[in-house]
Structure 1
Amino acid sequence: MGLIHEGLAQHGTVIITHDQTGGRGQRGKHWVTEKDKNIALSMIIDPAPLSVPDLFILSAAISVGVFDFFSRHAGEDTKLKWPNDLYWRDRKAGGILIENQIRAIPGAPAKWNWAVVGIGININQTDFPPAVINPVSLKQITGKEFDPFVLANELCQDINNVVSALDQSGFPEILNRYNRVLYKKDEKVRLKKDHRSFEAIIKSVNAYGQLVTENGTEELFDFGQVEWVI
């Protein structure tokens, strides 16, 4: 967010980190990455012409771009786990964290000025701390060593392609693509809400970013309302 606060932000600016020690994930969790082994980057995006109610549109487009990149190397077992994790089979390969700068305007709708997209993807790391649950890297999947900097550039191009396609194909096609590769789609999983765990079938994610589940009746969950029990 430093460039934004200093008035130096430009759409498409990418900052690549070679040694990330303070990476953050969802719910205050830390992203653990070994020096020079993985992709750890931040991308500044001007969300215009999207507005504040469209937050999930940008999130879905970025997730699909990340999927395009990773699946090209890792194959069809790549999935997107709601709300914004990258999975290969039942193992986590990466994650996305989007921080938004939204400015309140008295007497007018809030203005979405900037989005800072943080992306971490395991590339060459093969040794993970015990506290990291079910991690996997591209090297473990393919048996090959990669240049993280080269792949980071490839990733940014894939994201740009999908975000740009919002103007051409529109959000419904992006959402369809997101749901086609949704982790555990049409499968029964265990979720946790507050202190209660329960089983439900994952059906889809709707246009508002809500997880649609079925357990006798259809239920919708906003981000933060439920956790996966894995």
Structure 2
Amino acid sequence: MTGGNRGIGLAIALGFASEGARVAICGRDREALASAGRAIEECGGTSWTVEADLFTADGCEHAIASVEERFGALDVLVNNASTNVGGRLEELTDEKLVERFMGKTLASMRLARAALPHLRRSGRGRVICIGGTSARVAHREALPQGLGNSALANFAKNFSADVAPDGITVNVVHPPFTKSDRYPARLEARAKERGISMEEAEASFIADFPIGRLVEPADIAPMVLFLASAHASAVTGQTIAVDGGSSPVVVY
């Protein structure tokens, strides 16, 4: 599990832990990793934390090698790590545009490549990438997210065909804007931008969700656990949104 020390990643890690799984998480924040590792243990799982820089090929290879060395196997790879880069084309440098791709899409590809021998040995390997609804819906200030997430979906579809004969499935879960640890800052920014109260700002966010509330990290975890299970052995090459109905598109 990359990016498993907070937000959606941690919710997914805790979901696996509640099933008694051995869960390895990696990230760059040592203190957050340690805290998440304790939470996994308290939830019933066995934890392993790996400090790694997934912007580099060496960091990706180190993360996979460390998990295999600790647990002796790797059955499920969840690519969740990302970067918090947004903006419009005229505001973004080349470096910022590439950062999102490097920190999410390319990292997911490198990790999948490094994990492939272990997933083949598993006989029931799973690769689950956490993308985002910006792959399907264009948002102002979200060009890097859209580029990274749409490229991630294209990679997953191509890779799924390559590894299907090995019993490996590859899928993408698209969350929307989610009520995670970044939410308070975004809520405050909207209230300031529009000159409204925090309560009004929250109501404006909720208005985008037909279910009448924001999607939370815990809403994403069950779909990931399903895709990792034997029940989803025939589901591969798919992108599935857990978005509370907020994406105004028809996908067929």
TM-score exceeds 0.5: no
Q: Which has the higher helix share?
A: 2
Answer 1 or 2: which has greater strand percent: 1
**Alignment TM-score, normalising by the size of structure 1:** 0.28
Provide the TM-score with structure 2 as the length reference. 0.26
